[in-house]
Amino acid sequence: MKVYEIKAVGDYLKLRNQEVLHPLVGVVDFQDVDEDGKTIKDFNALRFNCYAIFLKDATGCKLKYGGKPYDYDEGTLVFVGPDQLVELSYDDPNYRPKGYALLFHPDLFLGTELGRKIHHYNYFSYSLFEALHLSAKERKVIVSLLDKIQFELDQTIDKHTKKLITANIELLLDYCVRFYDRQFLTREKENNSFLENFDVLLKEYFTSDRPQKYGTPSVAYFADQLHLSSNYFGDLIKKETGHSAQEYIQNKLIEEAKERVFDPTKTVSEIAHELGFKYPQHFTRLFKQRVGHSPSEFRSMN
């Protein structure tokens, strides 16, 4: 695999033959890109050392992360965080990108409000499985903010530059939070199907030998089974149930434990082992926290 290392914002801008106006932030309008010489097509993948947001307005280019295809097509926003490797493939050998790219380095917002909240924008951690699909009105909002950032980049850098650029990036990211919430709602039917599949996987987990092999069910395990990142999986569960993914899994585990506690042929230690607990006391502690009584007490009371 031939990887292009984007160690700084300028590395990507130079690859796209764009002028570097600021060392920590840049906007690319792909209609201005004239690809001569070395281009992205010379590489199989990009590794970013900065944040990148791509607004794609053309089909023909596919992305992969961790060997899995990204939910990414025309009219979408893509979010890439530092240290992510993005694989590239082209359906059309004459593919020309359309849309915009915004890149910004973490050093840009050191000491700012954005620096304190950047890790709360979960979509940078979705492991490139779920793009943000924009409506026409939403796209106009994003493009207008990119225009404002570009306006600042075109000015002489002064004491206001950093504040205004970071403020507009923060506003863009906050709008994306709203748009993702809208996307969760508009995909409600699909999400309900996802929740049903998750419940089936949970039941299968408890009726198999997986607890003995892998331990108690984890968020990462089921996210992988459903081809989602842990963060996006957690957001879906939270939106649909009001509980975190870990809480939802533990609730199902306790439901399963309650049924098994009534089997008089099994000890509490055996039940704990069947459910994937390495130590029976950990099972007893969790059961008492959730039920209000220890497994033995619950068995005798009922």
Task: Indicate the CATH number for domain 3-186.
Answer: 2.60.120.280
The DSSP output letter for 31 is G
Angle between helices 245-261 and 280-291 (to 10 degrees): 100
How many whole angstroms separate alpha carbon 128 and alpha carbon 81?
A: 10
Mean pLDDT of 195-219: 89
How many whole angstroms separate alpha carbon 291 and alpha carbon 258?
A: 9
Nearest to 65 by CA among 78, 51, 50: 78
Per-residue pLDDT for 128 more than 50? no
Mean pLDDT of 37-65: 74
pLDDT at 66: 44
The number of beta carbons lying within 10 Å of the beta carbon of residue 68 is 16
- What is the tens place of the pLDDT at every residue in 234-257? 888 887 777 899 999 999 999 889
Q: Specify which residues 52 forms β-bridges with.
A: 80, 103
Residue 295 amino acid letter: P
pTM of the model: 0.64
Q: What is the DSSP string of 270-285?
A: HHHHHTT-SSHHHHHH
Output 283 or 38, whichever has higher pLDDT: 283
- What is the tens place of the pLDDT at every residue in 142-180? 999 999 999 999 999 899 999 999 999 999 999 999 998
- What is the tens place of the pLDDT at every residue in 104-115? 999 999 888 898
How many whole angstroms separate alpha carbon 86 and alpha carbon 70?
A: 10
The number of beta carbons lying within 10 Å of the beta carbon of residue 58 is 15
Determine which helix (DSSP H) or strand (DSSP E) holds 178, and give its type and residue range. Answer: helix 161-186
Phi–psi pair at 70, nearest 5 degrees: -90, 140
Per-residue pLDDT for 67 more than 50? no
Task: Please list, in sequence order, all residues whose beta carbon lies within 8 angstroms of the beta carbon of residue 71, skipping any fewer than 6 positions away.
Answer: 129, 130, 131
Domain boundaries, the chain: 3-186, 189-301
Q: Specify which residues 134 forms β-bridges with.
A: none
Per-residue pLDDT for 9 more than 90? yes
User: Would you say the CATH fold of 189-301 matches that of 3-186?
Assistant: no
CATH for 189-301 (1.10.10.60, 3.40.50.2020, 1.10.10.10, 3.40.50.300)? 1.10.10.60
Q: Which of 29-38, 80-89, 248-257, 271-280 has the lowest mean pLDDT?
A: 29-38
Q: Which of 100-104, 180-184, 187-191, 270-274 has the lowest mean pLDDT?
A: 187-191
Total residue count of the chain as it appears in this document: 302
- Residue the block writes with tokens 């939802």: 248
